[in-house]
Structure 1
Amino acid sequence: MRYKKKGKVPANEDSLATLGRIPYHELLRATDGYNENNLLSKWSFGSVYKGILADGTILAVKVFNLEHEGGFKSFDTECEALRNLRHRNLTKVITNCSNQDFKALVLEYMPKGSLEKWLYSDDYFLDMMQRLNIMIDVGCALEYLHHGLSIGVVHCDLKPSNVLLDNMVARASDFGIAKLLGEEQSFSHTNTLATFGYMAPEYGLEGLVSTKCDIYSYGILLMETFSRTKPNDNMFDGNFSLKRWVNNAHQDGNIVKVVDANLLSTEDKFYNDKLNCLSSIMELALNCCADNPQDRIVMTEVVGVLKKIKLQFLAFDRTSNRIVN
């Protein structure tokens, strides 16, 4: 399936694209036989390894587990979804390696790792502006997928481990269960479930997939990014969820209770202003997570709101720097 672009989309300036097809034996050597020491991550249908070619080029090799019944389908789906997508906030696919017994995608290596690593590792920290920029990047990726092509592409599995960072530019990755919507198609059905905690209600209960599902997942991701709390945290059970926790705090005017404590200091002259920005972010996240898909905000509006919040935050930051200097 070919995608017709609605507007002009800048092509990726990627010297890696000149590599062409990489044979199996070269990938085997580059990853040292898919050595565990080169393992970057695992997911439902396979593993991702760091690889170094003979000329020193560093790559990420996504190997699909063909013994898993979903392995073949996941490979085909991801190839189809990524074949004609070009955006600075999407994973760059260099080539693939495919035969009857082996299937892999060769991706650009993301040296900074995933958003999940930066949120939850004690050795890393993201300040408020970095988190805001990352979420704007992810929003721009979804805006392109939903509105930048003649057909809609639904990612279906948005979560921190699927947001990769390169010099703090975020890129959505892993299109293994993505859905392509026809030009006149607004939703699709699927039997493949995404990650618990991030799925929209209609997706989890009925298998209904639309761009509105991505918006719901994005809202959960937005809450998680600024609260540093996973939707499947042990504190949540039954009807008490990340969404309800944030909603209760927002309604009580006590959003500081759910915000990552590392983002705010009561000694900050602009503490209240920054807290208001965080409250606006959480309110936006809740609007993304409306139970009724039709009540969810569209991605274009989400990106616009976040950019306005960023401008407000920059104003406080510049004033604060002038006072210090």
Structure 2
Amino acid sequence: LGLLARSLFSSFSLPPQDGAPRLALSGADGTDHSVVLEPGTRLAFTVGPGRWCLGHTSVESRTERTHHPCPTGAAAERGTQCGPCFGRDQTRLIHDFHRSGQAPPGLRDYLMQPHWLYVAGFAHGAAKVGTAAAPGKWRRLAEQGAVVASYVALAADGRTVRVLEDAVTRECGLGQAVRAAGKAAGLASAAGAEYDAGALAAAHRERTARVREFLAGVLADAGIEAAPFDEDWILPSAAEPVVAAWGAGRQHAYPHRLDGGTHGFTVTGVIGQGLQLGLDGLAAPFVADASVLKGRRISWTRAASEAPAVQDSLF
């Protein structure tokens, strides 16, 4: 990591199937780098001020995308993009295609392949309905940081699946987004919380049964090119230690915000945009929302995070 003296944090990237997540970075020289987040990886960095544009994406076909760095290195204005890059980003058109029918050729090709409809549950009890293109079926949920998830339908294309997604939101009360901060906070500990692993699994079964019952009626209508499905998603191996520590009620919230300051810790697990980490001198794991690092400039150091005084609950 010493070679990447100063980098712009982009995202966590995951392989199409189970494997080690990577930390995606853009170096000061404009080249892209990645750090494999295997258990035991040491990260130590200082976060600089401001948030910077991560550029935009064009879609050439259902299998090809191109990331374009921000041409001016501007500050982020909308999420992790400046205004011009937000306007050029083709992926934002995905969410309105089923209403507008408007998409450039490459994005249209991507959207006209089969898509999955899924229901996902998170550690703090929140749930959502979502969609995934067929090739990204597993990875999409891994990126979401779900604890439990199931596929409930397979649609002919991206337009049809989003019509179904909106219908499930409207009729079953499931939203289409869950805040990253809530996902990480919910993983801090299951002890004494409303949801532990068993309660979450039971709530998920009840929820997916309700969605499948609703879809059975909807899919019986003529003209809907989709089939009901009943398949559980498999948790990534990198997320297993995070979920296990949460389920045992022995995982703490990382006491420092990652969008500023200096940090140093050992990565022991990754779930979506969340990091499970170990602090020097402490046995208990911590969990942090690393999504706040997106668009931040970081400089690598040899520091160590200050460890809080913590005590695992005894039962």
Give the shorter-chain TM-score range: under 0.3
| Greater RCO, 1 or 2 (C-alpha within 8 Å, sep 6+) | 2
TM-score scaled by length of structure 2: 0.26
More helix by share: 1
TM-score scaled by length of structure 1: 0.25
More strand by share: 2
